[in-house]
Amino acid sequence: MAPRLPRPFELNPDLKAALRVESFQGTFSSKAFIEKLSNGIIQTRIKENSNTFDPKPFIRTFESSLEELEKLASKMQKHTIELERETQKEELAFKKQVKELGSGFEDVQSTLESLDSRISEVGSTAIRIGEKLETADKQRARAVLSKKLMEYFMQFNDGRCPTLESLMTQQGLEGQIEAARILRQLAVISKEVDLPETQVARDGIEKFREQFETDMLSSFDKAYRQADPKVMAHCAKALLEFNGGHSCVQIYVNQHDFFMLHSKVNESAPLEGPNHEDLTNPIAAIPPIDAGLIKLYDDIRTTVDQEAEIISMVFPNPAAVFQVFIQRVFEQSIQQFIETLLERSQAKSTLAYLRTLLSIHEHTILLVKDLKTCEDTLKVGINSNVKGSNISVTTQPLAQTLDRCLDDLFVPFLEGDRYLEKELQSLCEIYDSMLAKFTAYQLQRRGGNKFRAIITRTFNQIIDSNKNTLPPVVQENFATVKNPEKYQDMKVSDDDGALSVELVVKLLKIHAESVLRSLGLLPVSGRPKHTAVLFQLLTDYIGMRYIDAALDSAIEDLSALDPKFPPDLRPMKRVKLVNGIIHLIQMHFQTTILPLTVPSPQVYRDTVIQKNKLMASVEAKANATIQKEIDVILAWLETCLGRQRKSDFKPKDDEIDLTGLATKPCIDCCEFLRRMYETTKKCFDGKNIEMFCSEVGVTFHGMLLEHFKKFQISPVGGVLLTKDIAKYQESVKMWNIPSLNERFEMLRQLGNVFLVKPEILPSVLNEGYLAKVDFKSMYPYLQMRVDFKTSKIDKLFDVNSGASGGAVSRMAQLEDLTGAKFLNYAMHR
CA distances from 92 to 96, 100, 326, 707, 757 (A): 6, 13, 83, 130, 139
Per-position DSSP letters for 45-77, written without gaps between them: HHHHT--S---HHHHHHHHHHHHHHHHHHHHHH
Lowest mean pLDDT, pick from 442-451, 500-509, 789-798: 442-451
- Judged by DSSP in three states, 185 sits in helix
Tell me the average pLDDT across 413-436.
88
Gap between the Cα atoms of 215 and 165, Å rounded: 13
Contact 651, 714 (CB under 8 A): yes
How much of the chain exceeds pLDDT 90, in percent? 18
User: Among residues 280, 390, 409, which one has the least CA distance to residue 332?
Assistant: 409
| pLDDT tens digits for range 388-411 | 454 444 456 778 888 888 888 888
Contact 40, 12 (CB under 8 A): yes
Gap between the Cα atoms of 471 and 478, Å rounded: 11
| pLDDT tens digits for range 668-678 | 999 999 999 99
Output the pLDDT for position 124.
Answer: 82
Q: Which residues neighbour 135 within 8 Å (Cβ) at sequence distance 6 or greater?
A: none
Gap between the Cα atoms of 726 and 748, Å rounded: 7
Gap between the Cα atoms of 371 and 365, Å rounded: 10
Distance of CA 184 to the CA centre of its chain: 59
| pLDDT tens digits for range 698-727 | 999 999 999 888 888 888 888 888 899 999
Gap between the Cα atoms of 558 and 583, Å rounded: 25
Contact 251, 217 (CB under 8 A): yes
pLDDT band at 811 (very low <50, low <70, confident <90, very high): very low
pLDDT band at 1 (very low <50, low <70, confident <90, very high): very low
**Sign of CA pseudo-dihedral 566, 572, 577, 581:** positive
Per-position DSSP letters for 595-632, written without gaps between them: HHHTTSHHHHHHHHHHHHHHHHHHHHHHHHHHHHHHHH
Tell me the average pLDDT across 591-608.
91
Gap between the Cα atoms of 205 and 212, Å rounded: 10
| pLDDT tens digits for range 445-502 | 765 555 555 555 555 555 555 544 555 655 555 544 545 566 777 788 878 888 889 9
DSSP tally for the chain: helices H, then strands E: 34, 0
Q: Report whether pLDDT(155) > 80.
A: no
Alpha-carbon torsion, ordered 470, 472, 478, 482, to 10 deg: 140
Give the up-direction half-sphere exposure of residue 557: CA atoms within 13 A in the CB hemisphere: 22
- Judged by DSSP in three states, 519 sits in helix
CA distances from 89 to 71, 76, 254, 462 (A): 28, 20, 96, 106
Output the pLDDT for position 142.
Answer: 65
Q: Report whether pLDDT(374) > 90.
A: no
